[in-house]
Structures are given as structure tokens and as C-alpha cells.
């Protein structure tokens, strides 16, 4: 994992950066960097006698923080709102609040990683079953109604309805018509949940399940998601390092 000082070495001219220099270092177009100021993703940027923007170390750190935080685009709108709130706290100078939000984000990443690991185990059990090396799980015990099934997976009941309408899962029915989910259904729901977190569409997931190489495709999709989570976890470490350095340059008071 790259170190902060390697990603953002000290500025050359009086320890500051030009717009083109900083945009190159953070991997964004100069116009995007200018927009960051208007969006409140960095503080107000002073201009030199020639009218050009000059970014000091504090502003450069804020820009890198924003770029890194905004990479967490896999999350739902609540997660994206959390990222923007964390950026706002950094720009305000409230590093304590930023760290609290970062801790929540890391907990969410850990939860996603655990769910991806569980999906790996499920896919491996399917692979063994497909090869005839393992008996199927009993389907007549441990039945769950939709509300309880949704709660255990961590989605809304309406989400399970959408997945059923899309042909992703076919729950059983009791004589009274109520839908029930067997252990095998719950395994499938857990895999679907991980694929949705990885930003696969419902149609895309259906193609994964129905394809001729379903097991290989599902495993590849899950592996890519684990790699994404690993990268986001490294980003979260970088975010913490940026907040630490912002405190050392007295941009943020210790809370």
C-alpha cells in the first residue's frame, strides 16, 4: 500500500502546489479540482499575484481526502451521504467527528467482507454438491417467512419481492399461500445480497445464475468484489493518515 508522502509529496514552491501539479498528484482533471472548491470538498483556495490558484499542504490533503472518500461509490445513497458528511467535517476542521464517521465506514466494510466470505463458503458448498461430493441441505426445516428472511439478509421485505419478480429466487408456499424461505433459499439470498453490494444489476445476477458456466462466473464476481473491498479497506487507512497529518499542520483541532 502506497504511503501518504509518496502519493502527495511536499509542494515545491514555498511548500505549495499549482492546480495542474495537484490535479496530477490526486488523479483528477484541473477543472474537477476547481469544482471541489465550489462544492465545499476543500477550503477556499488563495490566489497568487498572477491570479493563479496555489494550494497549501492543508488544501492538498483535503483534496486527496475527498478523492479517496468519494471512491466508495459501491454503497447505497446513505453511504454516499456519509462520505460527504465526513468530507465536510474535515474541511470544517472537526477531525474527531471525521474519525467517528470513518469508524462507521470501516465497520461497514468489515461487515461486507464477512458477507463476501460467507458467500464464498456457500458457493464452495454448491460446487461440491454439483460434483456429487456433498448431500443437499434439508429443505423442510428452518422455514422463514419473508419478513424474517429479509431481516436476516439485511434488506427490506420489498427487496425480496423485487428479487422474486426478477426470477432470482422462488420461495416455497404454505397451504395458506404464505411464502416461506428454506435454508437453500437463504443461501441464495445471501449470494444475491453480496452481488448487489458489488453493484451487479438484477438482470446481470440472473445471467450469472442461468449461464452455462454459472459456478465459475459467480465465483469470479465474488472474487472481484473481495478485491474491491480490499482496496477500499486500504483507502480507509489512507483516510485516517490524512486526518492525522491535517492535525499536525493545525488544520484540525484535536477533539
Q: Tell me: do 64 and 124 sit in the same domain.
A: no
Handedness of CA 204, 122, 146, 113 (dihedral sign): negative
Q: Tell me: do 71 and 150 sit in the same domain.
A: no
Contact 72, 232 (CB under 8 A): yes
Extended strands (E) in 100-237:
144-145, 172-173, 179-181
Q: Tell me: do 239 and 151 sit in the same domain.
A: no
Separation CA 180–CA 190 (nearest Å):
16
- Flag whether 254 is in a domain: no
pLDDT of residue 230: 94
Below-50 pLDDT ranges, the chain: 133-135, 254-255
Predicted TM-score (pTM) of this structure: 0.83
- Flag whether 253 is in a domain: no
Q: Count of domains in the chain?
A: 2
pLDDT of residue 134: 47
What's the CATH number where 116 sits? 1.10.1660.10
Q: Tell me: do 151 and 104 sit in the same domain.
A: no
Separation CA 194–CA 213 (nearest Å):
19
- Flag whether 255 is in a domain: no
- Flag whether 242 is in a domain: yes
Q: Tell me: do 206 and 145 sit in the same domain.
A: yes
Q: Tell me: do 164 and 238 sit in the same domain.
A: no
Q: Tell me: do 121 and 223 sit in the same domain.
A: yes
Amino acid at each position: 500500500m502506497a504511503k501518504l508522502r509518496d502519493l502527495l509529496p511536499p509542494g515545491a514552491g514555498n511548500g505549495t502546489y499549482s492546480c495542474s501539479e495537484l490535479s496530477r498528484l490526486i488523479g483528477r482533471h484541473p477543472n474537477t479540482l476547481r469544482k471541489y472548491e465550489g462544492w465545499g470538498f476543500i477550503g477556499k483556495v488563495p490566489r497568487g499575484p498572477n491570479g493563479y490558484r496555489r494550494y497549501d499542504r492543508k488544501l492538498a490533503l483535503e483534496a486527496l481526502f475527498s478523492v479517496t472518500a468519494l471512491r466508495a461509490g459501491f454503497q447505497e445513497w446513505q453511504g454516499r451521504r456519509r462520505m460527504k458528511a465526513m468530507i465536510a467535517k474535515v474541511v470544517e476542521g472537526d477531525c474527531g467527528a471525521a474519525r467517528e464517521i470513518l469508524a462507521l465506514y470501516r465497520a461497514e466494510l468489515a461487515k461486507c467482507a464477512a458477507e463476501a466470505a460467507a458467500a464464498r463458503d456457500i458457493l464452495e458448498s454448491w460446487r461440491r454438491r454439483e460434483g456429487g461430493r456433498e448431500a443437499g441441505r434439508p429443505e423442510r426445516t428452518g422455514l422463514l417467512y419473508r419478513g424474517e428472511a429479509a431481516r436476516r439478509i439485511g434488506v427490506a421485505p420489498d427487496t425480496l419481492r423485487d428479487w422474486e419478480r426478477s426470477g432470482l429466487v422462488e420461495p416455497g408456499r404454505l397451504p395458506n399461500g404464505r411464502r416461506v424461505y428454506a435454508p437453500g433459499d437463504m443461501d441464495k439470498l445471501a449470494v444475491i445480497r453480496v452481488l448487489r453490494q458489488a453493484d451487479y444489476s438484477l438482470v446481470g445476477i440472473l445471467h450469472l445464475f442461468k449461464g452455462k458456466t454459472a459456478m465459475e462466473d459467480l465465483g469470479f464476481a465474488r472474487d472481484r468484489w473481495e478485491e474491491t473491498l480490499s482496496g477500499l479497506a486500504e483507502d480507509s487507512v489512507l483516510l485516517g493518515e490524512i486526518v492525522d497529518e491535517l492535525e499536525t499542520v493545525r488544520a484540525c483541532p484535536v477533539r
